[in-house]
Amino acid sequence: MKMTLVIDTDDRDGIDDAFKMISIMKQRRAATAESGAHTLTISKIPLIKALRAFVREQTTTRTGEDVANLRDAKLFAERLIANDGRL
């Protein structure tokens, strides 16, 4: 999420409130970063194996159709992540 914060330099309470908001967002960001909720590490060989499995799955289920479907790739990636990288 991106946010633009406009501060009125003549409003002392507004400056204090803006500082509080930034402090709260910083604390939440640090808590999220520590939990590793947004971290995904992918090694080269497992990635190649996953891509091969995806192509194999798509070509066996979609003969004659477009196999480069973004929705199917997204669903495959979500399944892969949910299974801790195991196919």
Find the domain containing 64 and state its range: 44-82
pLDDT per position as a tens digit, 10-69: 888 988 988 898 898 888 877 666 665 556 677 777 877 888 888 787 777 666 566 666
Residues near 14 by beta carbon (within 8 Å), at least 6 away in sequence: 7, 8
Mean pLDDT of 63-83: 72
Handedness of CA 51, 54, 60, 66 (dihedral sign): negative
- The number of distinct structural domains making up the chain is 2
Q: What is the pLDDT of residue 64?
A: 59
Q: What is the pLDDT of residue 59?
A: 74
Q: How far apart are CA 87 and CA 84, in angstroms?
A: 9
Determine if the pTM surpasses 0.75.
no
Q: What is the pLDDT of residue 76?
A: 78
Residues 2 and 31 in one domain: yes
Residues 78 and 62 in one domain: yes
Q: What is the pLDDT of residue 8?
A: 85
Residues 33 and 50 in one domain: no
